[in-house]
Amino acid sequence: MPDTLAPRAFWLRDNCPCAECRDPRSGQKLFQITDLPEDLTIAASTEADGALELLWSDGHRSRYPADFLPSPAGPADSAAGPTDDRRTEHGKRLWQAADFAAGIPEADWSAYQADPAERAAVLRAVQRFGFAVLRGVPAEPGRVLAVAETFGFVRRTNYGELFDVRVEPNPNNLAFTSAAIAPHTDNPYRDPVPTLQLLHCLENAAEGGDSALVDGFRAAALLRAEAPADFALLTRTPVPFVFRDRDTELRADRPLIDTDPRGRIREVRFNNRSIERIELPEAELAPFYAAYRRFAEITLRPELQLAFRLGPGDCVVFDNTRLLHARTAFAQQGARHLQGCYADLDGLNSTLAVLDRRAAALDLLQELFEGEGAAEYLGERVTQAEHMLQAAALAQRAGAADELVAAALLHDVGHFTGVVTGRQLMQGQDNRHSDTGADWLAQWFGPAVTEPIRLHVAAKRYLCTVEPAYRAALSEASEYTLQVQGGPFTAAQAADFAALPGAADAVAVRRWDDAAKDPELDVPGFAAYRPLLAALMAR
């Protein structure tokens, strides 16, 4: 076994999941690669329950859960491997206008706000197609910033936190006139360029002023297919993008098409307005201009132009490293007013990943309720799932805050074996169900949900001490577990408990817990609580 693992030795050690190697709180690595002996080898390996245990030549021991190693051959195609730059064309769906004949990616603003699934769909469209349109965003000044804040951070530029796209008396940019603007990306003179743009329409009563989007990755891919030498030239020729006004002097010398080390399209900068005099050896000028012109011609092909009209309340969000945007000229006297701002893709991708992670967590909880949870519950006359659903229903009937309803619903989640991750087991974490459940839930929920769960066993020990009648009413099973849990508190322990900030909430959860063992009670299923749980996760 050590022999077959040898090529992976440093990889395995670098990824040792033990608490000495990785900080259990932050998940961050606690050692440097240079801290490892250069001649490190695997001294011995064993397998148990699918987990791999290694003894290292320096005496360290590592234990890896069953699913830790990739399939023995490694990713079949390294270009498609999981370690891959998702900002390149590889992670995108390239398109032309006809691909949206049935409609463009869009959502209603109120649905986007209310429903995490709708929000995830919009963000995924921006990630995959480079854009999405929100409809019904109130046509009020400044609202575009609120849209950006739903998925990331506004990137301020020389145009301000927010900019108005309308006819200005002394424009420092042609955007602020009524002129037609050919397909372009914004701010190519910034470095790093703002990776996302939002444009929110407040008013569009002008004749003309229609919008268009072009998939710049698609245009670049067409150039590569039709004229590989031109494509290569544009990826390696820095172009001077410049913006200048009284307070600003921005300049970035970057290629029109940026590729990753594997040659895949990663970023497009295209803005004829702001290209300054390029200085190249004279012999290189004509080939550059021929390639630049060919690329520009491709971006103007009708089949690539996705034309639409922004109406009041529409807000388009698009990837400014990929999509080119354009507008037709409009009658100067017609009222057309957009507000825009910039943001960044990393924030959007993070928000989407967190939404996906939360949806997966809700799916997992639902599975646990419907699978393991449907099994017998330590001799009670209800299943574990019925018990928890009843506790939640009692909390809701009592008018409890959403956090306490969730705590009641999830208070025994630590009983489910799926909850205890390999890493927690490896770290020898105590499997007392209140702590395990609270720790596991803390990945998604704040302390107002997790702490009553953490304390709900302590609350029982507390109540047994301060309310003799409470103890007398315990079920046989519950009296048995009381002993396992350490028995009633001493007077001093009870006083300490009562002084904890979450004690009252924990006692409330405990009382619903105790009452939730009625085989006749008919209560809503897990699905009824998903919106409440999703909202708490986002709080």
Cβ-based nearer residue to a second copy, 273 or 530: 273
Does the footprint of a second copy cover residue 171 (CB under 8 A)?
Answer: yes
Q: How many residues does the chain have?
A: 539
Judged by CB under 8 A, which of 44, 57, 114, 236 binds a second copy? 236
Judged by CB under 8 A, which of 18, 43, 111, 250 binds a second copy? 250
Residue 61: count of CB within 10 angstroms of its CB:
13
Contacts of 257 (CB under 8 A, 6+ apart): 220, 223, 231, 234, 235, 265, 267, 268, 269, 295
CA dist., res. 511 & res. 470, Å (int)? 10
Count of residues binding a second copy (CB under 8 A)?
A: 105
Does the footprint of a second copy cover residue 172 (CB under 8 A)?
Answer: yes
Cβ-based nearer residue to a second copy, 204 or 321: 321
CA dist., res. 517 & res. 529, Å (int)? 19
Does the footprint of a second copy cover residue 333 (CB under 8 A)?
Answer: no
Q: Are 239 and 288 in contact (CB under 8 A)?
A: no
Per-residue binding string, a second copy, 279-318, x by CB under 8 A, is xxxxxxxx--x--xx--xx--x------------------
Site for a second copy in 373-412 (CB under 8 A): none
Per-residue binding string, a second copy, 38-57, x by CB under 8 A, is x-------------------
Does the footprint of a second copy cover residue 29 (CB under 8 A)?
Answer: yes
Does the footprint of a second copy cover residue 248 (CB under 8 A)?
Answer: yes
3-class secondary-structure state, position 352: helix
Longest dimension (CA), the chain: 97
For the sheet containing 211-215, what is the strand order? 181-184, 323-327, 211-215, 306-308
Cβ-based nearer residue to a second copy, 146 or 280: 280
Where residue 25 falls (left for φ over 0; alpha for ψ -120 to 50; beta otherwise) is alpha
Judged by CB under 8 A, which of 305, 350, 383, 424 binds a second copy? 350
Does the footprint of a second copy cover residue 61 (CB under 8 A)?
Answer: no
Site for a second copy in 1-20 (CB under 8 A): 7-11, 14-15
Cβ-based nearer residue to a second copy, 47 or 85: 85
Cβ-based nearer residue to a second copy, 343 or 516: 343
Does the footprint of a second copy cover residue 251 (CB under 8 A)?
Answer: yes
Stretch that binds a second copy, among 75-83, 371-379, 380-388, 526-534 (CB under 8 A): 75-83
Does the footprint of a second copy cover residue 328 (CB under 8 A)?
Answer: no
Does the footprint of a second copy cover residue 344 (CB under 8 A)?
Answer: yes
* H runs (alpha helix) in 379-446: 384-397, 402-410, 422-426, 433-441
Site for a second copy in 457-496 (CB under 8 A): none
Per-residue binding string, a second copy, 266-285, x by CB under 8 A, is ------xxxx-xxxxxxxxx
Question: At closest approach, how far in Å is the CB of 520 from a second copy?
Answer: 39
Q: Is the peptide bond before 192 cis (omega within 30 degrees of 0)?
A: yes
Does the footprint of a second copy cover residue 255 (CB under 8 A)?
Answer: yes
Site for a second copy in 520-539 (CB under 8 A): none
Residue 35: count of CB within 10 angstroms of its CB:
8
Question: At closest approach, how far in Å is the CB of 280 from a second copy?
Answer: 7
Does the footprint of a second copy cover residue 228 (CB under 8 A)?
Answer: no
Stretch that binds a second copy, among 221-229, 245-253, 303-311, 371-379 (CB under 8 A): 245-253
CA dist., res. 162 & res. 199, Å (int)? 10
Structure-block tokens of residue 392: 């939640």
* H runs (alpha helix) in 332-397: 345-370, 384-397
β-strand partners of 245: 248
Cβ-based nearer residue to a second copy, 101 or 283: 283
Cβ-based nearer residue to a second copy, 98 or 353: 353
Cβ-based nearer residue to a second copy, 235 or 465: 235
Stretch that binds a second copy, among 104-112, 187-195, 401-409, 509-517 (CB under 8 A): 187-195
Residue identified by tokens 């299943």 is: 383
CA dist., res. 290 & res. 296, Å (int)? 10
Cβ-based nearer residue to a second copy, 171 or 468: 171
Does the footprint of a second copy cover residue 360 (CB under 8 A)?
Answer: no
CA dist., res. 440 & res. 418, Å (int)? 10
Cβ-based nearer residue to a second copy, 292 or 529: 292
Cβ-based nearer residue to a second copy, 301 or 471: 301
CA dist., res. 293 & res. 286, Å (int)? 10
DSSP string, 135-179: E-----TTHHHHHHHTTS-EE-BTTBSSEEES--SS-SSGGGSS-
Question: At closest approach, how far in Å is the CB of 184 from a second copy?
Answer: 9
Q: What is the gyration radius of the CA atoms in the chain, in angstroms? A: 30
For residue 352, CA distances in Å to 121, 295, 318, 345, 356 come to 9, 33, 15, 10, 6
Judged by CB under 8 A, which of 195, 204, 396, 465 binds a second copy? 195
For residue 248, CA distances in Å to 172, 189, 276, 293 come to 11, 11, 15, 29
For residue 432, CA distances in Å to 182, 384, 484 come to 64, 16, 10
Site for a second copy in 132-151 (CB under 8 A): none
Stretch that binds a second copy, among 303-311, 349-357, 397-405, 422-430 (CB under 8 A): 349-357
Stretch that binds a second copy, among 85-93, 381-389, 397-405, 469-477 (CB under 8 A): 85-93
